[in-house]
Amino acid sequence: MPIYLDHAATTPVRPEVLEAMLPLLGGTFGNPSSAHAFGRAAREALDDAHERLARAVGADAREIVFTSGGTEATNLAVKGAAWAGRPRGHRLVTTAVEHHATHHTLRYLEKFGFEVVEVGVDRYGRVDPDDVERALTDRTTLVSIILGNNEVGTLEPVLEIAERVRARRGVLLHVDAVQAAPWTEFSVDSLGADLVSLAAHKAEGPKGVGALWIRRGTHLLAQQHGGGQERHRRAGTENVAGAVGMARAFELRAAERAELLPRVRAQRDRLAAAVVASGLVELTGHPVDRLPHIASFVARGMEGGSVALALDLEGIAISTGSACASGSTEVSHVLTAMGYPNDEARGQLRISLGRTTTDAEVDAACRVVPDVLARVAEGSPIAEVAGAPGAS
């Protein structure tokens, strides 16, 4: 049976979530903006989803805006805050290792005269809060930072950054928690942020639905216009079934974190140790301050895509980095920012576990992954791999 080890890309919808969604895909199909009984039933389900998701992430229901996913949530946060703050300033601060949803959005805003400052990171992909503070000026209106990196798993010092940002009046902090929220002891308010992006499909919820938490009192300009849905912050008929599914997924995850996180972390560490023991890879990302489900590597002298394909033929699904950049011929901007040269960065591999990953699957991966690495290294025309037979 195939083994799925790409949970950082997406997760299977768990049965309890599907069960919660099904009534909204059938009998309760009304438009929540309609005044008749069908619409009122849908509205009740949507309001309940706001309440339940808010409780699961430590928020108030009125602070939750449902979106079409994490990317839209981040676009709404970054663009909405940038334009709302434009009369005060045009400087936007971020890091060099953000998800493309943030990185490309900021590049877009540069076309309209915004100044984007990218703060560098260390070899582990971790930003220094002091460097963020030094990037702040009187014209800064927004800092946007990822909580847990989607490629290498490094956790950023968001709390320390939030302290610096709060000391500068008028500067908002957006945190991209899409990858990290299901895998940390998570509460939006505890981050010290003003805006937090979330996505359902990273937590065994449905694809195509996400949420933006907007701290009460935060000024944001809507980026999607039409009706007055989501308290005039995001127009468009709501995906009620998706919202209900997201709320249920986050409820379940909040209830099981105490057991889940240490179990998956132990599985991840066991697999990472077996892969590193092959002598053919280097672990990337912070060795301690990292998400519990991601193990990332560079396989020197090998193309990550060749290794991933070989593993796929053996029935093991992994990735070569962010699923949002699949098919790209460019090396990872995350690894580049961490100081890896292009020839090493091309050997990027990401193995990510999930709630449904079994010990037997980890045992199999511990055997198969090193074997596949050795075979690919042996036949690689790129370069002799350090640690392989005959390597110096």
Q: Are 77 and 102 found together in one domain?
A: yes
C-alpha 201 chain-centroid distance? 10
The predicted model scores a pTM of 0.94
Q: Are 233 and 270 found together in one domain?
A: no
User: By residue range, what is the domain housing residue 24?
Assistant: 15-252
Does the CA dihedral 285-287-293-295 come out positive or negative? positive
Q: Does residue 57 lie within any of the structural domains?
A: yes
Domains held by the chain: number? 2
Inter-CA distances, 366 with 26, 294, 312, Å: 44, 15, 15
Q: Give the C-alpha separation, 364 to 354, whole Å.
A: 16
Q: Are 213 and 156 found together in one domain?
A: yes
Determine the pLDDT at residue 300: 86
Q: Are 327 and 229 found together in one domain?
A: no
Q: Give the C-alpha separation, 165 to 161, whole Å.
A: 6
Q: Are 273 and 246 found together in one domain?
A: no
Q: Is 366 among the residues known to form the active site?
A: no
Over residues 92-151, the pLDDT tens digits come to: 999 999 999 999 999 999 999 999 999 999 999 999 999 999 999 999 999 999 999 999
Determine the pLDDT at residue 323: 56
**For residue 385, is pLDDT > 70?**
no
Q: What are phi and psi of 80, to 5 degrees?
A: -60, -40
Which entry of 324, 364, 368, 383 is annotated as an active-site residue?
A: 324
Q: Name the band, by pLDDT with cuts 50, 70 and 90, for residue 333.
A: very high
Inter-CA distances, 264 with 19, 259, 293, Å: 25, 9, 6
Which among 217, 252, 287 is the end of a domain?
252
Q: Are 202 and 306 found together in one domain?
A: no
Contact (CB, 8 A) for 238 and 46:
yes
Q: Does residue 389 lie within any of the structural domains?
A: no
CATH code of residue 39 = 3.40.640.10
Q: Are 180 and 275 found together in one domain?
A: no
Q: Give the C-alpha separation, 359 to 249, whole Å.
A: 23
Determine the pLDDT at residue 285: 98
Q: Does residue 386 lie within any of the structural domains?
A: no
Q: Are 221 and 293 found together in one domain?
A: no
H or E segment to which residue 325 belongs: none
Q: Are 248 and 265 found together in one domain?
A: no
Cα-only R_g, the chain: 22
